[in-house]
Amino acid sequence: MLDRLLGQRYRVVQALGVGQLAKTYIVEDYHRPNRPKCVVKVLKPQSHYPEFLSTAKRLFHKEAEILEQLGQHDQIPRSLAYFEENQEFYLVQELIEGHTLSLELPLFHCWSESQVIQMLKDVLQILEFVHSYGVIHRDIKPSNLMRRKKDNRLILIDFGAVKQISVPRIKTNGLITSQTISIGTQGYMPTEQVRGKPGLFHSHQPENKFSVLYLKSV
């Protein structure tokens, strides 16, 4: 794969990682001055069963659509291009220079209270923006949070598991629920995801002006 030209534009210079549905590479953009580097995610399904391929393609298309919307936030990688070639799918994203939060959390190392509070403030304001678009990430973990080198801010990456929240169904007991697919990483998944019963729970009290939204699948 190294040195391969993708889409007659992006030359692969380094492998980044392998996921359940895709591989990621650092590439050089030969159509821009100085050949800036960016990230390409390649969908290469391991199965050719029609149902599996359909799901994989749907997730990949959805990631491209969502990143196009969410990329306007400074702490989410921008979507630069999306194309299909030789029955493979390619998503081009902004390259974030830095390191993952995993490197800041070695075994048996504890953060101070102020560090934890600052991290939560940084991450939660990103999630607030993501949720405003009716989207949940569903795989929040240290390896999906990048510490950007230029300003030390946290960047939320890898939206391969996202799913737009569907229109909820109202139940007679006053709760509104919307089912989702169980996706995530062991050790970071909420209880209902581990049990294979993920869901979005919306509690509403008629006497209140605002309702409370519980994104339990994040």
User: Hey, which residues are catalytic here?
Assistant: 139
Q: Is residue 212 within a helix (H) or strand (E), and if so which, with residue range?
A: strand 212-214
| Other CB atoms within 10 A of residue 87 CB | 9
The single residue listed with the structure tokens 């001055």 is: 33
What burial class does residue 54 get, using C-beta atoms within 10 Å of its C-beta: 0-12 exposed, 13-18 middle, 19+ buried?
A: exposed
**For the chain, what's the residue count?**
218
Distance of CA 207 to the CA centre of its chain: 36
* β-pair partners for 17: 24
Euclidean distance between CA atoms 28 and 179, whole angstroms: 40
The single residue listed with the structure tokens 């702490």 is: 75
**Could you tell me the sign of the dihedral formed by the alpha carbons of 89, 95, 96, 98, in that order?**
positive
Euclidean distance between CA atoms 194 and 192, whole angstroms: 6
Euclidean distance between CA atoms 120 and 145, whole angstroms: 12
